[in-house]
Amino acid sequence: MNSLLIGERPEIAGRALSVAPSGEVWVEGARPAAGDGIARALARLVDPTVATDAAERAIAVDQTNTSVIVDERLVVKVVGRWAAADRAAHLLARLAEAGSTDVAGYAGRVDWEHPTLGTSTLAIVTEYLPGAQDGWDWAVDDVVALLGGAAASGAAGASGAAGAGAAAGSGSGSSHDAGSEPAFPAVLGATVARLHDVLGAHAVPAPDSAPSERAARALAALDAALEATDRSTGPTAARLANRAEALRRDIRSLDAASPGLAFDLHGDLHVGQVLRSPGSPPRYTVIDFDGDPQQGASERGRTDAAARDVAHLLVSLDLVAAVAQKRLGRAEPAAFAWADRARGALLGSYRATLVRGDLFDPALVPGLEAEQLAAELTYADRFLPRWRYAPDAAITHRYPSTDELPEDPWTPPPFEPTST
C-alpha cells in the first residue's frame, strides 16, 4: 500500500521532516539512520503489521539515499534529496502491477505532499532478500572459479554504483561449480528482456533528432574521458588515445541509425544492479531504477532506446573480466575469452526472450558501448580512481590501436581485499 505525508514539516516518529534549499531531505537536521526509528515508522505506514519495536539494520552501500532493513523482511529506502526516488517508485509500481518477479517484491511507498515543492516520493519499501549479493561479488566469483582461482571475498563496491541492496546479506547463493561455464549471462539476458517488455508496453517513437543527440552525447563522453586520462598519470592515457578513433567510429554509427522506439529504461544497468539470492536455482533480481547517476535529473528521466540498457550490461561483462584478472593477480586472456562468450549468450537470450522485438535495435549497441566505456573512465577520474583499470582493460581489449603513441600492455593492479 502507499501512504502520504502532508505539510512543510510533517512529523515521522515524532521528528520533523524538512527540505533544505539545496534539496537535501532532513529529519531534525540530520539524515535518518538505522536505529533511529524513522525507517520503521515509514515501513509501518506501508505495512501496518510491522511491529512498533521492529529491529532496524543498516545497509551501508548507497551513498545517495539511506536504506535500512526493517524486521529482517523489508528494505526501506529513504531519499537523500527531494525527488530522487520518483522515477524508481513509478517504475517499480508498474513492474509490480505486471506481476514481475525480476525485481524485489514492492510493498509500497510513502509520498510527501509539500506546499511549495509539490508531491514526491520520500521512501520506497521493498522485500528484503536474505543472503543476496550484487554482481560485483557473485559474477566475479563465478569467473574466477571458472579460470581456476580461489574466489576472494569482500570485493563489493567496484564502480561505486552497486546500489542499495548490494550489502543486504551475505553468502554467494551460487550454484556454479568451479571450472564450469557460468550460466548467468543467459539468465540476465532473459531477465532484462522481460523487464523491457513490461516497461516498453507504452513505448513511443523517438524524435527525429534522437540519432544526432545520441551521437553528440557519446562524443562528449569520449572527449571528457580523453581529457580526464590526459590529466592523470599512468599508461591509460596513451592506450585510450591510440583507440580514440576506433571509439569515435562506433559512436558516429549512432547518427546513422534510425530514431527507433523509446521508453522508460532502467538507465544504469550493470551486474552490480543485479542481486543473486541463495536457492536452487538462485534468484536474480534487478535493483536501483534511479537512472544514470552521472546524468542530471532531467536527463535521467528521459525515455531512451532499449539498446542502452543492453549495451551497459554488455560492457559490465567486460568489466567483470577485468576485475577477475585483478583478483587472480595476472593478465589472463581467458578472462576476455569468457567475456566474448558471455556477451553472445546474454545478447542471444535477450533477443530470444523479448516479445516486442521492435523495441531493440542492435545497430545502436556499438556506439552506446563506446559511450559507456568512456563514461566509466570519467567516473573513475571524478569519484573512484582505483576503478580506472577496469574500463581501461575493456577498451584495450575491444578496440584496435593506431600505435601512434608508445603504450605499455595492460596489466591489473594488485588485488586489495576491500576493493575490486
194 plus 309 within the same structural domain: yes
Residue 414 maps to a domain? no
Q: How many domains in the chain?
A: 2
Kindly give, in sequence order, each residue whose CB lies less than 8 Å from that of residue 156, ignoring residues fewer than 6 positions away: 61, 133, 134, 136, 137, 162, 166, 167, 420
The contacts of residue 304 (CB under 8 Å, 6+ apart) are: 206, 262, 263, 265, 267
Last residue of a domain, one of 127, 161, 191: 127
Same domain, yes or no, for 55 and 20? yes
Residue 419 lies in a domain: no
**For residue 39, what are the domain limits?**
3-127
CA dist 382 and 293 (Å) reads 12
In a domain, 298, yes or no: yes
Q: Which of 127, 145, 176 is the last residue of a domain?
A: 127
The reply, when asked if residue 255 is annotated as ligand binding, is no
Q: Are 257 and 250 in contact (CB under 8 A)?
A: no
Provide the pLDDT for residue 162: 35
Q: Could you say which of 68, 103, 127 is where a domain stops?
A: 127
CATH number of domain containing 219:
3.90.1200.10
Residue 166 is predicted with a pLDDT of 34
235 preceded by a cis bond (ω within 30 of 0):
no
Side chain identity at residue 152, one-letter code: A
Residue 232 inside a domain? The answer is: yes
134 is in an annotated binding site: yes
Judgement on whether residues 99 and 212 belong to the same structural domain of the protein: no
- Which residues touch 73 (CB under 8 Å, ≥6 apart)? 127, 128
* Residue 418: inside a domain: no
Domain of residue 112, CATH code: 3.30.200.20
Instruction: Say which residues have a Cβ less than 8 Å from residue 70's Cβ, sequence separation at least 6.
Output: 39, 40, 43, 50, 54, 55, 56, 76, 128
Kindly state whether residues 288 and 378 are assigned to the same domain. Answer: yes
**Can you give the pLDDT at residue 178?**
61
CA proximity to 271, closest of 105, 133, 379, 416: 133
Domain identity same for 316 and 179: yes
Q: Are residues 158 and 106 located together in one domain of the fold? A: no
One digit per residue, the tens of pLDDT, for the chain of length 420 reads 899 999 999 999 999 999 999 999 999 989 999 999 999 999 999 999 999 999 999 986 656 789 999 999 999 999 999 999 999 999 999 999 999 999 999 999 999 999 999 999 999 999 999 999 999 999 999 999 999 875 444 443 444 333 333 333 334 445 566 678 999 999 999 999 999 999 999 999 999 999 999 999 999 999 999 999 998 878 999 999 999 999 999 999 999 999 999 999 999 999 999 999 999 999 999 999 988 877 777 777 789 999 999 999 999 999 999 999 999 999 999 999 999 999 999 999 999 999 999 999 999 999 999 999 999 999 999 999 999 999 999 999 999 999 999 999 999 998 776 545
214 with 301, same domain: the answer is yes
Q: Does 315 reside within a domain?
A: yes
Answer yes or no: is 290 a known binding residue.
Answer: yes
Residue 357 falls inside a structural domain: yes
Is 288 annotated for ligand binding?
A: yes
Tell whether 358 is in a known binding site.
Answer: no
Within this chain, do residues 314 and 393 fall inside the same structural domain, yes or no?
A: yes
Task: Please name the residues in contact with 397: beta carbons below 8 A apart, sequence gap of 6 or more.
Answer: 318, 321, 336, 339, 410
Same domain, 247 and 350: yes
Assess whether 115 and 139 both reside in one domain: no
Could you tell me the pTM of the whole model? 0.91
Report yes or no on 88 lying in a domain: yes
Same domain for 158 and 10: no
pLDDT at 59: 85
Q: Any known ligand binding at 268?
A: yes
Contact 164, 287 (CB under 8 A): yes
Name the grid cell of 62.
548507497
Same domain, 224 and 177: yes
What local confidence, expressed as pLDDT, does residue 151 receive? 47
What pLDDT score was predicted for residue 35? 92
